Structures are given as C-alpha cells and as structure tokens.
Amino acid sequence: MKLISGGVCAAKGFTANGVHCGIRKNRTKRDLALIYSETPATAAAVYTTNLVKGAPLAVTKAHIADGKAQAILCNSGNANTCNADGVEIAEKMSLLAAETLGLKPEDIVIASTGVIGQPLPIEPIAAGMKPLAEGLNPDGSLTAAEGIMTTDTIVKEVAVEFEIGGKVCRIGGIAKGSGMIHPNMATMLVFITSDVAISPEMLQKALSSDIADTFNMVSVDGDTSTNDMVVVLANGRAGNQEITAEGPEFETFMKALNTVTVHLCRMIAGDGEGATKLLECHVTGACDTQNAKIVAKSVICSSLLKAAMFGADANWGRVLCAIGYSGANVDVNRVDVAFRSAKGTIPVCKDGAGIEFSEEIAKEILLEKEIEILVGCGEGPGTATAWGCDLTYDYVKINGDYRT
C-alpha cells in the first residue's frame, strides 16, 4: 500500500476536468467539474441525513439505484437546494452530460455545492459542457478538484496503489469541504474512483462501513450540510477477479479505501473555515467503541476547546467538560488528558484532576499546526479518533457575509 499522485485519475480508465462556466462571478474560479470512466462502473454512495436535501441528491440516488454509473458532474457556487425547479435543473444537467459524453442520463451522478435557496441557471452549465468534456484528460484531477471548491483554501486529493490477486489496483479521491461540516453519514462532497472489480453490493458495504470511522468523525462547525454526499465509482479495469464477498481481497480493498478517506478527513478538518490548526482527538480505554466515538466527537466539537486551541491555551478543563456532557458511559474520575504535537507531549490531567505542568512548554506544543488531544478513559478496549479544527475570528468573518 503506497501513496501515489493522480487523485481521481490515478485509477485506470478515469479522466477528469474542471472549468469556469459562469455560475460564479469570479472568472478565475472553476465552477464546473467532470469525472469520467471510459467504461461503465459500479457505484455506491452515502448522503446527508439533513431533512433538507439538495435536489442533486435525489436525482443521483435514483440514477445509481441499479448500482451503475459512468460519470460525475458537479458545479460549485450554487447548491441547487430549496428551489422549486431543483430536480428539473439536476435532470437537465444529467441530460447535458449524457448527450456530450454519449451516455444515458441515468449513467450520470449529479452534485452541486454553494449557496442554498438561489435558483441555479442551466445556461452557464450548457455552455460549459463542451469545453469541459473536450478537456477531459488523465491529468485532470487537480482541475476537477478546483471546480468543486467553495470556501476551501486548499485542493484536496489523494490516491493509493496496492495489489489484489496479483493485480496492481488503485483508489483515488477528491473532496471539498471547509464549512457546514458536521456530518452524520458522510461529509461535504467526496468523489472516489477505483479500477478494482467489485460488485455494487460489496462496494456499498465497504463505503457504508468506512464512513462510520472516518467522515462521520469530522466536525468543523456543528452544521450538517444539505448537499453532503460521498460517491465511489469502480470500473474493474485493474483486471482482478471481481470481489463479491468478504475475504482477504475485500479486506485489502477496505484498507485502501480507508487510507484514502482518512487522508481526505484530515485535509477537510485542517481546512475548516478560518482554521489555523488541525485537531485530532484520540480516545483510548473507553468501555467500547461506540462510547469512545461519542467522547472523541464531543471533544472535537466543543467551541470552547476549539477556541482554546486557537489561542494555544492548555485549558484541559474544557476537554473534561465536553466529555461530561457528551452522554458517553464514562467514569470521569479515571480520565487522563494530554496534548501532543511535533514539539512533544504534555500530560495535563490524571484521573479526572489537574496535575502540575509547564504552561510555557504547553504553549509551545499548542502553537503547532497539528494538535493531538489524547484522552484515556481507563475502562476498557474502546478506541476512536475524531478530526476538527480550531475556532478563529475568521470563521465569523467568512460566514457573516457568505451569501452577499
């Protein structure tokens, strides 16, 4: 298992592109992205649990009900959510992509991201489809990743290479996500491609299982988006024997998928709106995995703890406070807390009570860009990891005038 370049184009038979078509006013910003498989692919997806859902999710869910898809079309700058004609526009996007690529509309995954509640004009998308498709290329992952960004400050892409049954296989992905990130199914928009041969049922099983420990454990601001979706396409071009059941091959695929999703989780959390630091909470010693997850997520979601990390303040009491209201089955009198970064590790709490530590050393540790919050519950085998970011002045600035 090794990291490679190429993003969503690393897997055999995939090309991608991103262009500016005119949805966004800034002409330097790409706002339309396309990912294309040269051959039909198995498809799996997970969607936001928000009761308010973007029209593209309903259209995509219907399109991949047969477990198949061949392309992903996504626009940024407009979420196509809470619009009377939302489904109609999403279907028109599908038709435009299908006609341009020589496919059926049902072969297209549709996604949108951006402002909620504003009509999405079809004209820019119609005008952009030809140059978008003509520009498809095996090095197009970067431009596609740029095409799905909104308030993101960095491109998010990753790929891995591994072997199944003696065949070289690849999985790659791109993501967007910076704000409105507190998912309970998946997160933001994530598009993953693979050349592994795997049945739709096993692909869906792999994805649904993986997100429980990855995208479901990310939070930036406590807001679950209306358009969150993770989609995986696998076209089988690696030539391995199709994975149709659990076993060593499925486990290898799961490990590769998890490598990709964890990398994307860290990128998303570290690029939270206004963020200056990536926070990673590791919980050990919980009575079971579920309670470990509750603790980790509560700590990473605490606005007070996030603010303390922004100020490099080792205010460990906020960690204990978040654990106390989390609802987890935990004995707070057995909880240990430490902070860790590239500058070292400093224990700050033992058995639920403070211990002496150097504020100067703690501050030096917390001034780093990546901070680990280590929580030991001292009760059992449960472990979990959650990802988040600090809370800064810029988060309010970005969201104070996001629409206008």
CA gap 364, 357 in Å, rounded = 13
Bin 22: left if φ > 0, else alpha if -120 < ψ < 50, else beta: left
| Spatial CA neighbour of 89 closest among 97, 98, 80, 99 | 80
CA gap 389, 93 in Å, rounded = 35
Place of tokens 């959390």: 269
Q: Looking at 42, 60, 187, 284, which residue is catalytic?
A: 187
CA gap 362, 122 in Å, rounded = 53
What are the residues whose beta carbons fall under 8 Å from the beta carbon of 199, sequence distance 6 or more? 42, 67, 242, 243, 244
Q: Which amino acid is at 376?
A: G
CA gap 273, 175 in Å, rounded = 15
| Spatial CA neighbour of 328 closest among 380, 280, 374, 372 | 380
Confirm whether 15 is a catalytic residue. no
Task: Give the Å distances, CA to CA, from 136 to 17, 164, 250.
Answer: 5, 28, 31
CA gap 259, 175 in Å, rounded = 14
| Enzyme catalytic residues | 187
